[in-house]
Amino acid sequence: MNFWEGFAESIDKIRWADIGIAVLIVAFFALLNKVFVKYAFALLHRLFRASGRGELWKQVLERPFRSFFVVLGVYLGIKYLLPRSWELAIGLDPLFRSTVIALAGWALYILSAQSSVLLEGISQKIRLDDSSMLIPFLSKVLRFVVIVLTIALIGTEWGFSISGLVAGMGLGSLAVALAAKDTLGNIIGGIVIILEKPFAKGDWILTPAAEGMVEDITFRSTKIRTFADAVITVPNAALADQPITNWSRMGKRRVSFTLGVALDSDRARLTSAISGIERLLRDNKQIDPGTIHVKFTDFNESSLGIFIYYFTKSTVWAEYLSARQEMNLALLQVLEEEGIKLAYPSHRVFLEGAVADDGDEVSRGCRSYE
């Protein structure tokens, strides 16, 4: 008996009553799907009402649960309708188990999303802020593991030997290890960066490779958006081995420079100007009062140097520039009030041997400017 003859014989054996019962089985589970899922999630919502996670659990599990009841109904209906020989021929049982594994993998994949109840609960327990990259990184790792395990389990259902696959991979493990050395180093570097937390998403960092705002960290690399609005991708292994300056973690922002004033400035007026500048800094609410230094420190070739050192309270670049501009204008006003001029590059030339009216030899000085 060939295939088609067996198929025709099996069809003849199926009665309309059996078809009707199979349809009723499918309809029953479709109805059970609506009723069970509705009341199950209503109960779940009441249990988690205090924490507000009932709705989140519903978003995670509702679609896989609904699909499971539909698949279960179709499976039982077909199993009732077809003879055992046809079940074995089409692989009904492995197909059903594979579908259940796929649905379970789907639920776990949704559960391992960055915004899922599982990872949100972990984030709250270890008190991570929204800028932390640990949860996005952990989500990527969990989703990768879920996909691999789901494919492996489905393969096992269809006779693929996982142990044989592992043994086969062992034969080429050395070559794979050498080829994947850089990739593995980048993954480990990413884990080190996340655990040590030298920066978070949105931070302004400076490294030998790049400077800008951290946008994302993946298995292989970290993405940094520069101030020219370009994105630089830095391998995690290289980034973990480099010094990283995190400007976003400054508690205050430094201003340090030496102001050059004219060499012939009056000593009393210079002392008064220094006192006035320091007083302005201490009275300004945008300046941190903890560290302020205004001192006459340098004798230069064409100027006297006043060292000015202070910190702005704000680390935001625009606010920092505004505070610095305000202080510079106030500083110029103090110098004007004291009659002290800013220095500019200059040098003096002295001519020797000039004769005065009374016949004495004198030196004449001439100042020239650059």
pLDDT in tens, 281-339: 999 999 999 899 999 999 988 889 999 999 999 888 889 999 999 999 999 999 999 99
DSSP label at residue 343: P
Query: What digits encode the pLDDT tens for the residues 170-194?
Result: 544 555 555 556 767 777 777 777 7
- 286's CB contacts (< 8 A; 6+ apart) are 312, 313, 314, 319, 322, 323, 326
**Both structure tokens of 92:** 């009904």
Quick one: pLDDT band at residue 10, thresholds 50, 70, 90?
low
Q: What is the mean pLDDT of residues 230-244?
A: 87
pLDDT at 18: 62
Nearest Cα to Cα of residue 239 among 201, 202, 185: 185
Q: Which residue has the higher pLDDT, 196 or 250?
A: 250
3-state secondary structure of 131: coil
Tell me which architecture the domain covering 200-249 has in CATH.
Roll (2.30)
Residue of 201, 69, 70, 186 whose CA lies nearest to 134: 201
pLDDT of residue 98: 86
pLDDT the model gives residue 368: 46
Give the distance from CA 55 to its chain's centroid.
27
Fold of 253-338: Alpha-Beta Plaits (3.30.70)
User: What is the average pLDDT across 59-70?
Assistant: 75
Report which listed range, 95-99, 124-128, 247-251, 319-323, is most confident: 319-323
- Please state the domain extents for the chain: 3-160, 200-249, 253-338
